[in-house]
Amino acid sequence: MKNYRIIKYWTALVLFLAVSCLAADKKPKFEKFVPPAESHGAAITGYGCDRMHIADSSSTSKSSSYWNLILWAQYGTDHKKYWTKTYDTFQVPVNHSVKSAGESASTGAPIAGFETMSYDFTSLDNACADWGALVQTTLKIKPNGDKPDAAEKPKD
């Protein structure tokens, strides 16, 4: 009887962890991240995204970096960001390369080597563009605060 309870407990634990991992892979819905049309008595005048570096991770096979996507909106003419939300954390691939600052005049050998890193922000940029499109259609506002022209018609 004890073995049955232990097996039942471990099975439940494994299922719980598996469901948690599957749920963690899903991105939050953008609909929950639409800024209000007004804040502090002023209408929305612009919106956008910022990236915030969180941490770096490296293994023997590849390195990556973790970044938060910060969504923001500004209101009024002071262009202050009154509304900000952290959307999600993204794992970004990092490419490393070593370059030299020049070469020795006497030997021609490279000197002052330095490492450069390049980040692939495609996933963050795509998420920002998708969120911006939702905000534009929901609030009927462009990123710079202009209202879309309702009278954009072809000229005669």
Domain extents for the chain? 28-139
What's the pLDDT at 129?
95
Q: What is the DSSP string of the chain?
A: -HHHHHHHHHHHHHHHHHHHHHHHTSPPPGGGGPPPSEETTEEEEEEEEEEEEEEEEE-SS-EEEEEEEEEEEEETTTTEEEEEEEEEEEEEEEEEEEEEEEE-TTT--EEEEEEEEEE--HHHHHHHHHHHHHHHHHHT--TTSPPPPTT-----
Per-residue pLDDT for 154 more than 50? no
- pLDDT over 90 percentage in the chain: 30
Q: Does 134 score more than 80 pLDDT?
A: yes
- pLDDT, one tens digit per residue, over 72-127 is 999 888 767 789 999 999 999 888 777 766 776 677 776 777 777 788 999 999 99
Instruction: Give yes or no for residue 7 having a pLDDT over 60.
Output: yes
pLDDT of res. 96: 74
Instruction: Specify which of 14-23, 54-63, 86-95 reaches the highest per-range mean pLDDT.
Output: 86-95
Percent pLDDT > 70 in the chain is: 69
Total-model pTM: 0.65
Residue 144 has pLDDT above 60, yes or no: yes
Confidence of residue 17 (pLDDT cuts 50, 70, 90): very low
pLDDT (0 to 100) of residue 116: 78
pLDDT band at residue 20 using 50, 70 and 90 as cut-offs = very low
